[in-house]
Amino acid sequence: MPSRTNQRGFKRMNRRELLKLTPVLALGAFAIHKLQEPLLSAGLGFSDWASRLMFRKHHLAPTFADSELTPFEKFPINDYDVDDPEVDLDQWALTVTGEVQKRGDYTLAQIQALPKIQQNTRHVCVEGWDVIGRFGGTRLSEFLKMVGADPTARFISVKCEDGYYESLDMATAMHPQTLLCYEMYDQPLTREHGAPLRLNVPTKIGYKQAKYLTDLKVTHIIEKAGGYWEDQGYSEFYGL
Amino acid sequence: MAEGVLEIESAKSGELTPAVYEHPWPVRFCHWVNTVALFVMVGSGLQIFRAFPSFGAKIPQKDLLDWPKAYALGGWLGGGLQWHLTFMWIYMATGIFYLGYQVFSGNYRQVLFMPRDLRGVWPMARHYFFFGPKPPARETYNPLQKLAYTSAILLGVLSVLTGFAIWKPVQFSWLAWLMGGFHLARVWHFAVMWAILFFVFGHLVMVVLHGWNNFMSMLTGWKKDPEYTPR
């Protein structure tokens, strides 16, 4: 036998049930102008935190056969400012600072004297497109060993000839596929692709692959979010 | 479940109206959180899509469609990503809470489409689309409803899996591989969104057609005067 109530009792019961849904209204905080930005940056921070947990330092990004490469001329040239910041290639050296034993300027020849790695990996742009490119260079971890970087430092930050700047967490910097890249498609880097030295980090999103490097710093702290696009509101970690 | 059935006595006429408790609060809670989350995920997802509205090569770029900025959330790609990467956790948390609740409470029987529901699908579809006779209602959801809701839940799971395949194509490279590669995974993610929107459209049409008591049941849990005899 069903129990019986009157209309008032039913109304009261419905009101009580409706009140159980009030926590849903908390989502309205996202509609409040003042709260929106801190909430979204907390959300992005949470995503970055989760991404750091998901990163595995020995897990390799997929590599591809030469036949799967995107033709060189169809590898997009992306900048935030100019294609060619007119690096003086004869005078160029990488200035290393921060938590390292051997600070100073390193020439391309010194970098190229380190073991060379070549890899066909996917370059994924935050916009949504992707290409498969061929990259050659030396492991960033080798270079860091050579300059005597403090392994307990948290970040590597780089500056570029065009004013662009970027950073990597130390775990990613030490990843075996993270390269100081001086070749693409078996040729020295062209100016548009970042001559003479760029980053190639197959475990990271495209905007982390900084070009025309001039400075490299090993550091415990990075300013703001540590990169040009990151400071505009993009993810700081963006590991793939 | 006799505790979920009531008779409401009218003070004037003494007439009895049956009422049945159809939706436990976790189901209602997840439904409304998910309503907001889906809205944000679709709006911000379209903003992200606007940055490269194509599934082909970057060079040369052939745009699939020019989605208007007014129908996208976040203002720009970075903003869209912030909304997407924030609400995906809310979306997933509700999904996990919902599935966990349904399984452990046994309430899933109400909504899970089973092989025995199969023969009831066509009569119901005929009724809705071709003005066939209305099959008698026996339980909270008819077979066509169960099929729709079960599909929607599967689409929700797929939206998360395809999303992870394109967000983490290195850490979850096996996911992208299952979907035919990173490039195709992005197509699947987009397709799943449209499938969900198709469901939402049908769902809203049905909500309008079935009136106030039906709508209120997703807010209070109680449905007054249901079409079936409550057991």
Sequence-distant (≥ 6) Cβ neighbours of residue A199 within 8 angstroms: A140, A158, A166, A168, A178, A179, A180, A181, A208, A209, A210, A211, A213
Question: Which residues 102-161 of chain B have a CB within 8 Å of chain A?
Answer: none
Which residues of chain B does A130 touch, with a Cβ-Cβ cutoff of 8 Å?
Answer: 182-183
What's the pLDDT at B1? 41
Over range B118-128, report the average pLDDT: 90
What's the pLDDT at B3? 61
Binary contact (A239, B33; C-beta < 8 A): no
Over range B196-204, report the average pLDDT: 96
Over range A163-191, report the average pLDDT: 96
Q: In this structure, is the dihedral angle defined by the CA atoms of residues A26, A29, A35 and A40, taken in order, positive or negative?
A: positive
Q: How confident is the model at residue B2 (pLDDT cuts 50, 70, 90)?
A: very low
Which residues of chain B does A52 touch, with a Cβ-Cβ cutoff of 8 Å?
Answer: none
In this model, does residue B231 exceed pLDDT 70? no
What's the pLDDT at B30? 96
End-to-end CA distance of chain A: 59
Binary contact (A54, B83; C-beta < 8 A): no
Residue B91 in any domain: the answer is: yes
Residue B32 in any domain: the answer is: no
Over range B137-151, report the average pLDDT: 91
For residue B135, the enclosing domain spans 38-53+68-224
In this model, does residue A1 exceed pLDDT 80? no
Question: Which residues 66-95 of chain B have a CB within 8 Å of chain A?
Answer: 77-79, 81-83, 85-90
Which residues of chain B does A232 touch, with a Cβ-Cβ cutoff of 8 Å?
Answer: 78
Q: How confident is the model at residue B136 (pLDDT cuts 50, 70, 90)?
A: confident
User: pLDDT tens for residues A69-114?
Assistant: 999 999 999 888 889 888 899 999 999 999 999 999 999 999 999 9
* CATH code, domain carrying B193: 1.20.950.20
Q: Give SS3 for A175.
A: coil
Residue B6 in any domain: the answer is: no
Binary contact (B170, A76; C-beta < 8 A): no
Residue B160 in any domain: the answer is: yes
Point out the residue among B6, B54, B77 whose CB comes nearest to the CB of A5: B6
Q: How confident is the model at residue A7 (pLDDT cuts 50, 70, 90)?
A: confident
Residue B5 in any domain: the answer is: no
In this model, does residue B130 exceed pLDDT 90? no
User: pLDDT tens for residues A46-66?
Assistant: 999 999 999 999 999 999 999
Domains and CATH numbers, chain A: 59-232 (3.90.420.10)
User: pLDDT tens for residues B164-179?
Assistant: 999 999 999 999 999 9
Residue B179 in any domain: the answer is: yes
Residue B139 in any domain: the answer is: yes
Binary contact (A1, B57; C-beta < 8 A): no
List the single residue in B with minimal CA-CA distance to A51: B168
Cα A80 to Cα A119, A129, A163, A206: the distances in Å are: 26, 17, 9, 12
Over range A162-173, report the average pLDDT: 95
In this model, does residue B131 exceed pLDDT 90? no
Mean pLDDT, rounded, of chain A: 94
User: pLDDT tens for residues B15-34?
Assistant: 888 888 999 999 999 999 99
Question: Can you tell me which residue has the tokens 């596929």?
Answer: A177
What's the pLDDT at A65? 96
- CB pairs A-B closer than 8 Å: 154
Which residues of chain A does B9 touch, with a Cβ-Cβ cutoff of 8 Å?
Answer: 4-7
Q: In this structure, is the dihedral angle defined by the CA atoms of residues A214, A216, A221 and A227, taken in order, positive or negative?
A: positive
Mean pLDDT, rounded, of chain B: 92
In this model, does residue A131 exceed pLDDT 60? yes
Point out the residue among B6, B90, B224 whose CB comes nearest to the CB of A2: B6
What's the pLDDT at B83? 97
The count of structural domains within chain B is 1
Residue B92 in any domain: the answer is: yes
- In sequence order, what are the beta bridge partners of B87? none
Share of chain A above pLDDT 70, in %: 100
Which of A197, A172, A182, A223 shows the shortest CA–CA distance to A95?
A197
The whole-angstrom distance between B126's CA and the closest CA on chain A is 34
List the single residue in B with minimal CA-CA distance to A56: B171
Binary contact (A27, B33; C-beta < 8 A): yes
